[in-house]
Amino acid sequence: MRSPRLRFPVLVALLAVLPALGLRGGASAAVDPPTAAEAESVLAAAEADLLALWVARDRAQWVQSTYITGDTEAIAAAANEAAIAAAMRFAKEAVRFDAVDLPLPLRRKLDLLKVALTLPAPSDPAKSAELARLAAGLEGAYGRGAYCPGEGRPCLDLGELSKRIATSRDPAELAEAWAGWHAIAREMRPDYVRFVELANEGARELGFADAGALWRSKYDLPADAFAAEVARLWEQVRPLYEQLHCYVRARLVEEYGSGVVPPDGPIPAHLLGNMWAQSWGGVWDLLAPAEAAPGIDLTPILRAKGFDEREMVRSGERFFTSLGLDPLPETFWERSMFTKPRDRDVVCHASAWDIDQVDDLRIKMCIEINEEDFQTIHHELGHNYYQRAYAHQPPLFRDSANDGFHEALGDTVALSVTPKYLRRIGLVESEPGADADLSLLLRMALEKIAFLPFGLLVDQWRWQVFSGEVGPEAYNEAWWKLRREIQGVAPPMPRGEQEFDAGAKYHVPANVPYTRYFLAHILQFQFHRALCETAGETGPLHRCTIHGSAAAGTRLEEMMRMGISRPWPDALEALTGTREMDARALLDYFAPLSAWLAEQNRDRQCGWR
């Protein structure tokens, strides 16, 4: 999945940088008891100092991600270390004001300071520097990752291996590509063990049991209540996922035989068309319903129309301007990375950036001219427009209402990339008839519904690792236990503890929390329904586009402008009229497909051992 470079980073800080930047110490003279005036002074210092550090950090991270070398990793580590050291300092100071009666904006800023860090660093400067090096090194190892089979065969990077996973139908070739990529994580394992130790030490200094507890405390709910909320949402959508899994497994048995795909067991991960089996659209040719019209295949249309990488992005920008939002700044086009350079290693994982937190907006992406990247671009620009909308807020409020909102906003926009939208912008002459809806919905489910358990389990694994419930001696066993139990997916071959298969997913070595993507897959349908109603769309939800609706654009921007200045239920209510995350909009969107899947699976044994 894609992720913006959010306000509160994943890495750690270099204390020696602070004096060089001319920053104030942040700690106020001791006053007993602390006062509201003192809290206001501390927050003013925090916002000024942190903003300077965030900008320096993001510039360094941009260079590291677009030009991976040992030097750029070291520079990024130093800048990240500086940002987190300051954030740790202010977070500890914020605790002093817990009992002070404060105006709500000040109280919220102090609370955000305490839970803002994704990877808190220990106070010990040596350990802080060590954590910085580990974090930069882990992400760099992922970015350099490649499978080199030897015997005169060329090395293959993730993009090339992913294409093979999506297009080959030879189980042996698929297993080789899958194992080849996952092998790149082996070297990360010892560094990740130490990484967890240091992250937990930093979290405990802030009063949390471990880093996972800190992560779960970011959602305007107690940590345990948030975990229960995630479990509730999963139970809403689990039956639909199990029906989809049952249908897909049966079709794969038809293709590969029961000796390769167990008819009543988990699906082998290498057969699902995606390196992590998190989306299954790559095997559409094996799953397409024979009785349904095929719908639109956008990839050959884009190529026939002569689209290049910049025109793909221009199309996304025109979607937002059709809502009444301003065009992107000229610097966006000058400074973004749209293609993979030929001369160096880069992190191709798509991401959206707001370097100066004002208008230096960028995307980083190795764009391919295909349907998936056309939608991804709309998603990434959603992040950029959200970032620009809340840029007027004080620095501590420059973020989405919760991290799921940022991802949901981008995906909400992508949901409007419907046949109606494609007709409006001249990519197709007419919309397919209702007989194509089944194909449209199944294609969408292979991306959206198939993702849900994976979006859930990545952090379930990390929470167990951070808490110590799972120790280093059982990292891989625990990873595959969750994948079997929650996702119904198994590895293509035995996997021992010398492997570190979780590390083959970008967000683990990069330390990007993942529950945000699960939440986003719930929220985006709530957002989509509310905006479609605002736009006056009356047809089926899966055919709606908000393209061209100034009313929808106004409502969307009003929510985005709030940033994180208010608890997320306030932002949700502003956009949707409800204060509770709920999967009913998702279930309504896929209701016709759900009924069809139930009929297809009527005589099948669903679920898995």
Quote the CA–CA distance of 500 and 177 in Å, as a whole number. 16
Instruction: Calculate helix-pair angle for 403-415, 371-389, nearest 10 degrees.
Output: 130
Residue 577: what pLDDT?
96
**Phi, psi (degrees; rounded to nearest 5) at 498:** -75, -15
Q: Which burial class, exposed, middle or buried, applies to 143 when counting CB atoms under 10 A from its CB (0-12, 13-18, 19+)?
A: buried
Its pTM stands at 0.88
Q: Which two tokens stand for residue 181?
A: 């990529």
Quote the CA–CA distance of 79 and 59 in Å, as a whole number. 9
Quote the CA–CA distance of 174 and 271 in Å, as a whole number. 7
Residue 268 has pLDDT above 50, yes or no: yes
Degrees (nearest 5) of the Cα angle 44, 21, 56? Answer: 85
How many residues appear in the chain? 609
Q: Is 22 left (phi over 0), alpha (psi -120 to 50) or beta?
A: left
The mean pLDDT value for 98-118 works out to 91
Please state, for a pLDDT cut of 70, what percent of the chain lies above it.
95
Q: Which residue, 387, 388, 370, is CA-closest to 312?
A: 370
Amino acid identity of residue 486, one-letter, is: I
Residue 511 has pLDDT above 60, yes or no: yes
Residue 242's contacts (CB-CB under 8 Å, 6 or more residues apart) are 488, 606, 607
Degrees (nearest 5) of the Cα angle 230, 582, 464? Answer: 5
Active site residues: 349-350, 379-380, 383, 407, 507, 517
The mean pLDDT value for 102-122 works out to 91
Residue 26 has pLDDT above 80, yes or no: no
Q: Which of 75-89, 454-468, 559-573 has the lowest mean pLDDT?
A: 75-89
Q: Which residue, 404, 402, 387, is CA-closest to 567?
A: 402
Residue 180: what pLDDT?
97
CB contact at 8 A, 483 and 260 = no
Instruction: Calculate helix-pair angle for 125-144, 189-205, nearest 10 degrees.
Output: 140
Residue 29: what pLDDT?
45
Q: Which two tokens stand for residue 405?
A: 């909102």
Quote the CA–CA distance of 510 and 503 in Å, as a whole number. 9
Amino acid identity of residue 360, one-letter, is: D
Q: Which residue, 92, 91, 84, 79, is CA-closest to 21?
A: 79
The mean pLDDT value for 57-83 works out to 93
Q: Which burial class, exposed, middle or buried, applies to 51 when counting CB atoms under 10 A from its CB (0-12, 13-18, 19+)?
A: middle
Residue 456: what pLDDT?
97
Residue 13: what pLDDT?
36
Quote the CA–CA distance of 395 and 52 in Å, as a whole number. 10
DSSP single-letter state for residue 337: B
Q: pLDDT tens-digit profile of 146-160?
A: 999 988 899 999 989
Quote the CA–CA distance of 243 and 596 in Å, as a whole number. 10
Amino acid identity of residue 305, one-letter, is: K
- If you write DSSP's letter for every residue of 287-309 in order, what string do you get? H--TTS-----HHHHHHHTT--H
Residue 6 has pLDDT above 60, yes or no: no
Which stretches within 390-514 are classed as H helix?
403-415, 419-424, 437-467, 475-482
- The domain segmentation of the chain, as residue ranges, is 3-144, 298-328+367-431+515-578
The mean pLDDT value for 348-354 works out to 92
The mean pLDDT value for 377-387 works out to 96
- If you write DSSP's letter for every residue of 357-376 in order, what string do you get? SSS-EEEE----SSHHHHHH
Q: pLDDT tens-digit profile of 522-551?
A: 999 999 999 999 999 998 999 999 999 999
Q: Is 125 left (phi over 0), alpha (psi -120 to 50) or beta?
A: alpha
Peptide bond into 33 cis (omega under 30): yes
Residue 32: what pLDDT?
67
Q: Which burial class, exposed, middle or buried, applies to 19 when counting CB atoms under 10 A from its CB (0-12, 13-18, 19+)?
A: exposed
Residue for token digits 């409007």?
Answer: 416
Residue 30: what pLDDT?
47
Stated as kind and residue range, the H or E segment containing 586 is helix 584-589
Please state, for a pLDDT cut of 90, what percent of the chain lies above it.
81
Stated as kind and residue range, the H or E segment containing 267 is strand 267-268
Degrees (nearest 5) of the Cα angle 197, 398, 114? Answer: 35
Reduced to 3 states (helix: H, G, I; strand: E, B; else coil), residue 147 is strand
Reduced to 3 states (helix: H, G, I; strand: E, B; else coil), residue 201 is helix
Residue 340: what pLDDT?
93
Q: pLDDT tens-digit profile of 387-436?
A: 999 999 999 999 999 999 998 998 999 999 999 999 999 999 998 888 88
Residue 114 has pLDDT above 50, yes or no: yes
Quote the CA–CA distance of 564 and 549 in Å, as a whole number. 25
Q: Which two tokens stand for residue 409?
A: 């906003």
